[in-house]
């Protein structure tokens, strides 16, 4: 089971899973597009929604570049990280 299984195959879940795999790293929209397979425009909208929910932070790096990362100060993100780690552990042990 993965985060995508919990939330469905939506951009939000895929974006969250990519960020949960690298919780202390910020990504450009271009990097996330390569990781997730979603368009940069679609990821911008998804990251705005997740920012409104307090799950991610978006920081303007240059006038044309945004860095997206998990909002690790949000307790909900901490719970998501634990769930994600547990799922990874379970999937690893099923092999």
Q: What is the CATH number of domain 3-93?
A: 1.10.10.10
d(CA 91, CA 21) in angstroms, rounded, equals 14
Cα separation of 88 and 64, whole Å? Answer: 35
Percentage of the residues of the chain whose pLDDT score is greater than 90: 53
The pLDDT value given to residue 90: 65
Handedness of CA 19, 25, 28, 34 (dihedral sign): negative
**Over pLDDT 70: what percentage of the chain?**
83
Least confident residue range of 39-48, 69-78, 79-88: 79-88
Secondary element (H or E) of residue 67: strand 65-70
Global pTM reads 0.81
50, two tokens: 């997740």
Q: Which residues pair with 67 in a beta bridge?
A: 28, 59
């Amino acid at each position: 089971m993965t985060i995508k299984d919990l939330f469905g195959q939506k951009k939000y879940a895929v974006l969250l899973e990519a960020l949960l795999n690298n919780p202390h790293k910020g990504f450009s929209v271009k990097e996330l597009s390569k990781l997730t397979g979603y368009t940069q425009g679609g990821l911008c909208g998804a990251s705005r929604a997740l920012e409104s929910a307090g799950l991610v932070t978006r920081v303007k790096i240059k006038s044309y570049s945004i860095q997206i990362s998990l909002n690790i100060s949000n307790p909900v993100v901490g719970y998501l990280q634990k769930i994600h780690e547990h799922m990874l552990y379970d999937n690893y042990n099923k092999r």
